[in-house]
């Protein structure tokens, strides 16, 4: 049996394994894929492995077993899971990710809370033809102005094309409602359609601002909930909800 916690942030759901410092590595891409499977496993968009230490470290597996550098929703879930596992009451946690050190601020009331994380600087690459822009938020993103006439199948085909053109990326389809609000759907590499993407929300807000469509403080409406992106120059802060779902005992193979 493997004891896990399940959390979600704006509908982006994760399984979290909190391990002690010095724990023997156990997870593999195959095991991560199996536990995230929604029919034959527990089911999640990704698996987060937190190793206690100073700082806490984070390893993120996508649902297909591949690894990713960063998750804006996932890091809030990981911080909340660490706080719960250690029965702590701190409000700040430094987390070492493949994208660099990130500080998470967390306020919890029971099983629910709000968190924010300084996401670092957004780095832009030349836009691909037919897109609004390409941005890196620790991981790569392609941002596209959505067209309601496109079918889901057409969006999936376009997402595969644009993702492949940059060596693998999340693809966000956005609609700008006004300078303080945009709506997105996201096709994540290694996962597919998800209810929310934190790094994708940051990338979309930054690309939209660069195009003159939005300002520095943007509400990003994901299918699973609303996130807030605050831009200060190239630096970005992401704010959003976090909620505990369940303790899980997985009957690992």
Is 58 in the same domain as 75?
yes
Domain extent for 131: 120-239
- What does the alpha-carbon distance between residue 194 and residue 9 come to, in Å, rounded to a whole number? 11
pTM of the model: 0.91
Specify which residues 219 forms β-bridges with.
181, 228
If asked whether residues 80 and 151 sit together in one domain, one would say no
- Going from the C-alpha of 95 to that of each of 10, 52, 54, 59, 79, the distances in angstroms are 21, 10, 8, 10, 8
Q: Are residues 96 and 45 in the same domain?
A: yes
Crossing angle between the packed helical segments 72-86 and 198-210, to the nearest 10 degrees: 140
- Render each residue's pLDDT in the chain as its tens digit; 253 residues: 899 999 999 999 999 999 998 778 899 999 999 999 999 999 999 999 999 999 999 999 999 999 988 999 999 999 999 999 999 999 999 999 998 999 999 999 999 999 999 999 999 999 999 999 999 998 999 999 999 999 999 999 999 999 999 999 999 999 999 999 999 999 998 889 999 999 999 999 999 999 999 999 999 999 999 999 999 999 999 999 999 999 999 988 7
Q: Is residue 127 located within the same domain as residue 224?
A: yes
Same domain for 244 and 226: no
Q: How many distinct structural domains can be found in the chain?
A: 2
139 and 228: one domain?
yes
Kind and range of the H or E run holding 209: helix 198-210
Asked if 16 and 104 sit in the same domain, the reply is: yes
Q: What is the DSSP letter of 20?
A: -
Two tokens at 102? 């990130």
**Domain CATH number, residue 15:** 3.10.310.10
Q: Is residue 110 domain-shared with residue 125, that is, in the same domain?
A: no
């Amino acid at each position: 049996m493997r004891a896990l916690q399940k959390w979600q942030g704006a509908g982006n759901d994760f399984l979290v394994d909190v391990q002690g410092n010095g724990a023997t590595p156990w997870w593999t891409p195959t095991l991560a894929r199996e536990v995230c499977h929604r029919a034959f496993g527990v089911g999640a968009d990704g698996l987060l492995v937190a190793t206690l230490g100073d700082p806490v470290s984070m390893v993120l597996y996508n649902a297909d077993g591949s690894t990713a550098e960063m998750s804006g929703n996932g890091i809030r879930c990981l911080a909340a899971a660490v706080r719960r596992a250690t029965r702590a009451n701190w409000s700040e946690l430094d987390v070492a990710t493949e994208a660099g050190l990130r500080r998470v601020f967390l306020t919890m009331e029971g099983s629910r809370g709000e968190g924010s994380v300084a996401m670092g600087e957004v780095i832009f690459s030349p836009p691909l033809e037919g897109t609004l822009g390409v941005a890196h938020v620790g991981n790569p993103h392609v941002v596209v102005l959505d067209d309601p006439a496109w079918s889901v199948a057409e969006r999936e085909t376009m997402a595969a094309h644009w993702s492949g053109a940059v060596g693998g990326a999340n693809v966000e389809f956005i609609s700008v409602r006004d300078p303080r609000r945009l709506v997105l759907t996201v096709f994540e590499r290694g996962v597919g359609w998800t209810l929310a993407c934190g790094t994708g929300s940051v990338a979309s807000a930054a690309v939209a601002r660069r195009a003159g469509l939005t300002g520095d403080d943007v509400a990003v409406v994901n299918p699973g909930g609303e996130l807030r992106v605050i831009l200060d120059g190239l630096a970005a802060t992401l704010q959003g909800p976090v909620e505990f779902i369940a303790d899980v005992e997985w009957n690992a193979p």
